[in-house]
Structure 1
Amino acid sequence: MALDLRRFLKEGDGVWWGQAGAEATPLVDALLDQVSEIGPVWAFTGLSLNRRLRELPPELHMLSYGAMGELRAVAAAGRLDVVPAHYSVLPRLFAEHTLPTDVGLVQLSPPGPDGLCSFGIGPDYAGDAARHTRVLVGEINRRMPRTIGTPGIALSDLAAHVETDRPLPSVPERAPDEVDRAIAGHVAELVDDGDTLQMGVGSLPTAILDGLTDHVDLGFHGGMITDSVVRLVERGVLTGRRKEIDPGTVVTGAAIGSSALYEAVGDLPCEFRPASYTHNPRVLGRLSTLVAINSALAVDLTGQVGSEVSGGRYLGGIGGQADFSGAAARTGALSVIALRSTAGGLSTIVPQLPEGIVTTARADVDAVVTEHGIAMLRGCPLAQRGHRIAAVAAPEHRESLLKDLHGAGA
């Protein structure tokens, strides 16, 4: 039977829960069933896989750092407020109680020999938010793997909990296509043996990681891992031997992928850390081998990156792109933006970013990579950047881009 959340939440309170496979879905469903009796409540989550959010009760007001997963439908209905924040700032926003901290709904592993429950595959912002939350309500899922890296939670720290035995929701890998593999081939040229990688999820990151099998002693430090990371570990490519910090260890905040990934994480040389560590600029500044590889929706002719506007709609989702790109460009090895040259028949290389919204500054981009090649921008004067970037645009769009460039006097 579902918990009675009315014991812990009152009108005007704020509640948060974890994201993706770490969502405490039975507790969120209980909230959706009971919020009409509680009254207006603010709620924060990240990437959601809960289809019930598509029909949001009028009393629930949603906040997020981006319209991802099922939150896209919430945003389309005008029911989502997006907080345009770097992922590294989320811990501070919870500490200051700017984001909801009255109640946290957490999915945890069963207690281990130390009596503590683990955040499993999703400490990311939850591991930080929990420290500043008045009431924690838990789902203890027998299938949530125990992981190390983030302090655990005792059952006595929970105001209430339910026990479940349900599979974690999987996110199938999208198979890379020829364009993805062409981009991956160019990116592989930029990665040196011993580099420490950061990248996200999707068919392009999968292609990039799968294209690095000839490299040696790569490391990983990022916000999430996928099945392709496990494959590199199993092949002996991702060893982390040369990492300046956390040598021999994959450092991540979350795992997003298949059931096989979730079953493997407990046996990997992997630490699951909260965002206050994975995205901390002081931590990232110690990784001189950091190669940040991020994607984008658009790049302009000066190298500015846009990742928040799609189809004329603001979706947010800054995430850790600027955190990692900035660190890699300033104190690491290389900051790479990799993207397809077209989307929906339109050029992703543009004279100006949609709505003028810049996600990552041009000073934090060392290279732009498409299937047509590499535009090296580190140390490149502004007057030359447009020509280099236009050269990796889709051939059918280059002439018009150069006309715009010359019209601007570059």
Structure 2
Amino acid sequence: MPSGSEIFEDASAIADAIISRVGKRIVLALPLGLGKPNHMVNALVERAIADPSISLQIFTALTLEVPRVSSELERRFMGPVLKRLFEGYPDLVYADALHAGTLPANIQVNEFFMQAGKWLNSPRQQQNYISANYTHALRYVLQTNVNVVGQLVAPSQARDRFSLSCNPDISVDLLEARRQGRADFIFAGETNTELPYMGGTAEIGASEFDLLLDSAKLQFPLFAPPREPVSPADYAIGHHVASLVPDGGTLQIGIGSIGDAVGQSLVLRHRDNAAFRQTLEKLGGVGPERDLFDEGLYGASEMLVECFIDLIEAGVVKREVDGVLVHGGFFLGSRSFYRKLREVEPTLRAKIAMVPVAFVNDLHGEEDRKRAARKGARFVNTAMMATLTGAVISDGLEDGRVVSGVGGQYNFVAQAFALEDARSVITLRATRHKDGETMSNIVWSYGHTTIPRHLRDIVVTEYGVADLRGKTDGEVVAAMLCIADSRFQEELLAKAKRAGKIAGSYEIPERHRHNTPAHVRKGLADAQKKGLLPLFPFGSDFSDVEQELMPALGRLRNAGRGELIGLALRGGPETAAARACLERMGFAAPSRLKERIYRRLILAAMAEVDGQTSTT
């Protein structure tokens, strides 16, 4: 390390050094998600809690928290899983204090993207939320007059080079702003040897650091959320999306089970084209792109999602741009994902380039080069709801509360319109379940919008594709009705007719009047029997028994009170698989009435789920 950098082995010591250098008014910028230097942040927060004269403002996004469990079933199922995945991970003190209502007023946390649903019932965090496109976060950080930037970094063996690894997203541009004299801050790093060492733009010299926390005793396991199971609805969506992606094109995918479904559907299209085509036809798919990937895809994605590695290995992502297969702004994933990135052959790792988010989310800067590279782009992002006239709701509720944030979704929608042959693909499940009630995610109108209807493009549900670009309102309403769940189509149609947005004589075509979960399961049945659509297509952190349990527990979670009573009365057979599941949940030999009821509920739910599978 150069003589100008101070190295610390104690988190409290580096916190004291920061206060000594900048004073008691600290404006601290932290990367979103995985890149937070937890020990350093906790030490600063603890100093500010102990000393009210310290003013600490934290500007960040996506504060990662270990999932909290509430119900008895959740505790029994997730308790051992959370212990396996998160033991040793240091919780962020400010998040715990915010939940407890004990964070003092001299500490303020401003986020521009929240972990989904975590702060819905926190008036303080709802008021401190900053609504921003991901590409605008940099300018807002600079406007705060940030005086400390902290980041978790991967060290080289010689400690002469370091990698911003998971989060070059804004940090690269912040450091450049400091070099240009547009910002004046202390750059404080914390090393973590589990972080994959990503080179290229993400690599910086030791001289960039003013302060560095580098201690073997403070190494901690990276935050690694378990992968989500991929549902039949997700797979149907994935197949429809995969039929929209042209060979030789460009791909962006968001996080979550729908993203995994898209990835697996692309792999299936390439590796077992006949099965892909057959399944797509059974689902009523109309997408024009069904051939194998000859030239292959190039990835330009805000988030380097896990399935990009699998897409590379499958030969789907193989079109290089300047020697790179995928450009990504940040990553977050499972332990196996981090291990893959650490252990991947160096020449392949060099083809996975971590870059500033402004590079992937925007066309500004080297625009001609970006336009040439991003041919046939398909930007795939997930929404919570959409209106019949094509507006998209992804980040907030009608009453103004924020669920998550805009992030980069608007960036990619705008980019899809700016590029000659690009399309924005918004995916959403047609329905959701709450308190035993099924509700439509396609609505007539909603009091909040993330993507306005004048930027409507392609919307995909498990029931098909609605191509909305350049269409009249009447045509858009008709297209959206065709991908809505049939249980809600007539009500939605009636509202559109009352508003005069579709002809009074219009009728939904017969071929779109059978949009039901049973129709989706039937369309996927053959592929599922062949093992082509696994619950976890790219690996899982759950055991085989836990995976067996998940569909049944999901059924119970979505059931209403009346349904639960019926399931408890009905019960189910105690098969060998069921016995293993009961053992895992601690209900093999129930001693209390409540445990016996839970036992019957699990058996009934397992029997019901198995019955659905066997009859499709």
Q: Same fold (TM over 0.5)?
A: yes
Equivalent residue, structure 2, for 1:158: 209
Task: Assess if the C-alpha contact under 8 Å between 1:297 and 1:310 holds in 2.
Answer: no
CA shift in 2, pair 1:15/1:364, >3 Å:
same
Which stretch has the larger CA shift, 1-10 or 264-273?
Answer: 1-10
Residue ranges of structure 2 left out of the alignment (5+ in a row): 1-9, 66-90, 177-182, 271-291, 502-616
Correspondence 1:307 to 2:394: yes
Q: How does 1:297-336 map to 2 (within 5 A)?
A: 297-310=384-397, 312=399, 313-331=401-419, 332-336=421-425
Structure exhibiting the larger radius of gyration computed from Cα positions: 2
Give the C-alpha shift of residue 166 in structure 1.
2.4
Which stretch has the larger CA shift, 371-380 or 261-270?
Answer: 261-270
String of CA shifts for 1:241-291, please: whole Å, max 9, x gaps. Answer: 4xxx44542100112111221232353320000112121233554423210
| 1:172 equivalent among 226, 230, 238 | 226
Letter in 2 for 1:209: G
Distance in 1, matches of 2:184 and 2:482, equals 51
Correspondence 1:62 to 2:109: yes
Equivalent residue, structure 1, for 2:134: 87
Residue ranges of structure 1 left out of the alignment (5+ in a row): none
CA shift in 2, pair 1:106/1:8, >3 Å:
farther
SS in 2 for 1:124: coil
Q: How does 1:4-403 map to 2 (within 5 A)?
A: 4=16, 5-36=18-49, 37=51, 39-50=54-65, 51=91, 52=93, 53-56=95-98, 57-58=103-104, 59-68=106-115, 72-73=118-119, 76-80=122-126, 81-94=128-141, 97-99=142-144, 101-111=146-156, 115-131=160-176, 132-150=183-201, 152-163=203-214, 164-213=218-267, 214=270, 215-216=292-293, 217-241=296-320, 245-246=321-322, 248-266=324-342, 267=344, 268=349, 269-282=351-364, 283=367, 285-286=371-372, 287-310=374-397, 312=399, 313-331=401-419, 332-344=421-433, 345-353=438-446, 355=447, 357-403=448-494
CA shift in 2, pair 1:358/1:100, >3 Å:
farther
Letter in 2 for 1:258: S
Letter in 2 for 1:62: V
CA shift in 2, pair 1:325/1:208, >3 Å:
same
Task: Assess if the C-alpha contact under 8 Å between 1:15 and 1:100 holds in 2.
Answer: no
CA shift in 2, pair 1:368/1:112, >3 Å:
same
SS in 1 for 2:155: coil
SS in 1 for 2:57: strand
Superposition CA RMSD, Å? 2.2
Kindly indicate which of the two structures has a greater share of residues assigned to strand: 1
SS in 2 for 1:253: strand
String of CA shifts for 1:283-323, please: whole Å, max 9, x gaps. Answer: 55442321001111111111111112147422351011111
SS in 2 for 1:277: helix
Task: Assess if the C-alpha contact under 8 Å between 1:305 and 1:359 holds in 2.
Answer: yes
Which stretch has the larger CA shift, 77-86 or 217-226?
Answer: 77-86
Letter in 2 for 1:142: T
Task: Assess if the C-alpha contact under 8 Å between 1:61 and 1:79 holds in 2.
Answer: no
Equivalent residue, structure 1, for 2:542: none
SS in 2 for 1:108: strand
Task: Assess if the C-alpha contact under 8 Å between 1:43 and 1:100 holds in 2.
Answer: no
CA shift in 2, pair 1:223/1:387, >3 Å:
same
SS in 2 for 1:78: helix
Aligned length, in residue pairs: 402
Task: Assess if the C-alpha contact under 8 Å between 2:427 and 2:461 holds in 1.
Answer: yes
SS in 2 for 1:61: strand
SS in 2 for 1:191: coil
**Once the two structures are aligned, what percentage of the paired residues are identical?**
26
Distance in 2, matches of 1:63 and 1:44, equals 5
Give the C-alpha shift of residue 75 in structure 1.
6.2
Distance in 2, matches of 1:49 and 1:129, equals 22
Letter in 2 for 1:179: A
Task: Assess if the C-alpha contact under 8 Å between 2:45 and 2:56 holds in 1.
Answer: no
Kindly indicate which of the two structures has a greater share of residues assigned to helix: 2
Give the C-alpha shift of residue 197 in structure 1.
0.7
Distance in 1, matches of 2:202 and 2:383, equals 34
SS in 2 for 1:221: strand
SS in 2 for 1:185: helix
SS in 2 for 1:13: strand
Letter in 2 for 1:342: T
Task: Assess if the C-alpha contact under 8 Å between 2:30 and 2:59 holds in 1.
Answer: yes
> TM-score under structure 2 normalisation?
0.62
| 1:407 equivalent among 486, 489, 498 | 498
Which stretch has the larger CA shift, 359-368 or 118-127?
Answer: 359-368
